[in-house]
Amino acid sequence: MKTMMFPGQGAQARGMGADLFDAFPELTAQADAILGYSIKALCTEDAERTLKETQFTQPALFVVGALDYLKRTAQGPKPDYVLGHSLGEFNALFAAGAFDFETGVRLVQKRGQLMSQTTNGKMAAVINASQETIEQILRDNGLDQIDLANFNSPSQIVISGATEQIERAQPLFQQGDMKYVLLNTSAAFHSRLMQPIRDAFAEFLQQFTFQPLHIPVIANVSALPYRDEDLIDNLSQQLTGSVRWYESMRYLMQQGEPEFEEVGHGNVLTKILAKIRAAEPPPAATAPPVQATATRIETPPPEPIAVQTTSEATPPQSAQEKVNNWNRRHGLGTRVISDIIKDQPLETRTEAVVLFGHRAAVYLKGYNGYFDLDEIQACP
């Protein structure tokens, strides 16, 4: 099973794509006309030192990734699955036929422009701490303006949020084996602070017509294959939601004998994959089918947690049946109560989702975590 994966922002470097632009002169010229500058000069020379700026980085990485994909598939078979890390998801959708090269350039150009307009917040990587540990530290210290942005591997989670709180968090995550690395980003990407950008980008996406996918694309926001009708929702929600990379890798590992190939510049995703594989083998549980509903849970755990069950129903409902029943009855923002959280009702922030093929859960706003459906009930 061949899977191609595309990196996101941070993979850029001067000199990238040097062997690609002359091989695809028409597409390179098309990108130049849309962007208003030479994409080849930006990537290979970067004379103005602008390649690191978001509004330039995103089109550059997309073009290099798209051309590299075309080169590889012209010489060999197409993949069985594709996925991309944040910005890289646009390359994955291009590879799957959702839109053509011109549309892809226009989409990432707008995305980069919008994201470069905000300077709110910071991001940091937390090393050697589980999701549960991170969430507990944030709760205990009143750091409620921080979101979990990227689940890269079991030992690397990126947090994102208000600058003051990200800075306050630093000494808290420098105890024991934990490490804390402030990232050189211009804003708090993949956090609630990107909501205005998400709204503007969703409106922009409405201008385009997208085609059915001919290769399964694993979505960042759900770690499950896209449904064609969810494309606009997924791409806009991605700006405020988590990149569920670790869980996406585990999903693919459950599909058979995966062969991963990084497309575009660098090998950052290949290195992350090595850490994931070294951490633990994929679970034996049956994975959701390719046509499973793409859901929008934002901060999944890196490890499955045992679920208490009851025997009231005979036979008991499967996790997928519980999810389907919940999503039919309840929309986003449903107020729920739980015996675990007794002080006040909370709101759902996502649809229900099956995690790891066996757990029915929904993310609760304000708690920075998710609950099993068996642990909550909708308010009357």
SS3 357: coil
Contact 357, 291 (CB under 8 A): no
- Is there a catalytic annotation at residue 358? no
Query: In whole angstroms, what is the distance from residue 119 CA to residue 275 CA?
Result: 32
Q: What phi and psi values does residue 19 have, to the nearest 5 degrees?
A: -90, 5
Count, residues in the chain: 380
Catalytic residue among 153, 186, 190, 222: 190
- Is there a catalytic annotation at residue 86? yes
Q: Which residue type sits at 177? A: D
Catalytic residue among 86, 160, 222, 236: 86
> How many helices, marked H, and strands, marked E, lie in the chain?
12, 13
Alpha helices in 87-146, H assignment, sequence order: 88-95, 101-116, 131-140
Contact 32, 41 (CB under 8 A): no
The residues near 224 (Cβ < 8 Å, ≥ 6 apart) are 218, 251, 288, 292, 293, 294, 295, 353
Report the catalytic residues. 86, 190
